[in-house]
Amino acid sequence: MSWCILVNTTPKYMPYAEVQIACIRRYAPGLDETPIFIATEMRPKSGSHLERILKFKNTFHIFLQEEESGFLESRLAGVGYLPENFEYVLPLQEDFWLDRIPDYTKLSEAVHILETDIRVQSIRLMPSPGPHQNDETYRGAWKILGKNDPYKFTYQATMWRVDAYRGFLEQILKSASRGFHSSGLPSDNWSKYCIRVNVAENLDGQALFSDLCMGPNKLHLSIERSHPKPNAVFLAPWPYRPTAVVQGSLEPWAKEFAKREGFNLE
């Protein structure tokens, strides 16, 4: 097994991670042998959401120290603690909820591309946003992200080379630290700053990604969007509605989703 799934979460959002991982194991039985790692500063206390999560098949805990629990730090630490035998990783936010089967064929294609073309650094499995209609075709339904794409990096479901993902997170953490120190904000506002400014997906983050992570030998692909309507997301290789949490609150549709799947998040 050359790839795994990585979920970063916090105590506040652990109930949402339980819904997510339960539904991956429920609706994607073809991925039962694909390990899921959940990175968090929590410990699996008796009766907790985390304890229940770790009972799912091939699901493992990455314990983060308090200093590793920030928005960016947790992502960097999580990928850094993955076992070395995993070359590729699918990082998922805990509010990317499946309720249908992923496209196993397209997932296998993505892994095959990474295994056979060292130029390819990441493959976006959820075309929300992108790719631009004028992007160059790589092969079949896969396009090469380029100058036409305002979002060259996104947290939406994307399969990465572990080293490439970790390298970008290291650079964005350094850049965000510089911006935060020049902002004059108190130190305890750091994690909120990273979320509010959206340091990886904002204009500065996109420029940094373009400068450091893209080029002829650093390709980033995306599946082509099947059509422009919102429900096109359900035809993506990793099909979910982006996203269950908006500005820190669970969307009404997500509450209904969770209830339907047997979880009470009220």
pLDDT of residue 162: 98
Name the pLDDT band for 1 (thresholds 50, 70, 90): low
Q: Give yes or no: residues 115 and 229 share one domain.
A: yes
Phi-psi region for residue 262, left (φ > 0), alpha (ψ -120 to 50) or beta?
left
Contact status, residue 98 vs residue 137, Cβ threshold 8 Å: no
Q: Are residues 115 and 179 in the same domain?
A: yes
What are the tokens at 79?
A: 């990928």
| pLDDT above 90 for 15 | yes
pLDDT at residue number 192: 84
Token output for 135: 């992007």
Identify whether residues 132 and 191 lie together within a single domain: yes
Shared domain for 82 and 124, answered yes or no, is: no
Q: Check whether residue 128 and residue 212 sit in a common domain.
A: yes
Beta-strand relationship, 249-250 and 120-124: unpaired
Which residues span the domain enclosing 32?
1-96+245-266
**Pair 110, 222 in one domain:** yes
pLDDT surpassing 90 at residue 48: yes
Same domain, 66 and 112: no
Structural tokens at position 1: 């097994």
Domains held by the chain: number: 2
Residues 150 and 234 in one domain: yes
Convert the pLDDT of each residue in 133-151 to its tens digit: 899 999 999 999 998 899 9
Clarify whether residues 134 and 147 are in a common domain: yes
pLDDT of residue 128: 86
Q: Do 69 and 14 fall into the same domain?
A: yes
Average the pLDDT over 31-35 and give the result. Answer: 97
The predicted-structure confidence for 107-143, as pLDDT tens digits, reads as follows: 999 999 999 999 999 999 999 888 998 999 999 999 9
- Claim to verify: residue 165 and residue 208 sit in the same structural domain: yes
Flag whether pLDDT at 34 surpasses 70.
yes
Contact assessment for residue 177 and residue 259, using Cβ atoms and an 8 Å cutoff: no
**Average pLDDT, whole number, for the chain?**
94
Question: Which residues have CB under 8 Å from 22's CB, separation 6+?
Answer: 53, 56, 261, 263
Count of alpha carbons within 13 angstroms of residue 24, beta-carbon side: 29
149-206 pLDDT, tens digit each: 999 999 999 999 999 999 999 999 999 899 888 888 888 888 888 888 888 999 999 9
For 217-234, write each residue's pLDDT tens digit: 999 999 999 998 989 999
Helix and strand numbers, DSSP H then E, in the chain: 8, 11
| Between 52 and 242, the higher pLDDT residue | 52
**Residues 111 and 227 occupy one common structural domain:** yes
What is the separation of C-alpha 113 from the centre of its chain, rounded to a whole number of angstroms? Answer: 19
**Quick one: pLDDT at residue 182?**
85
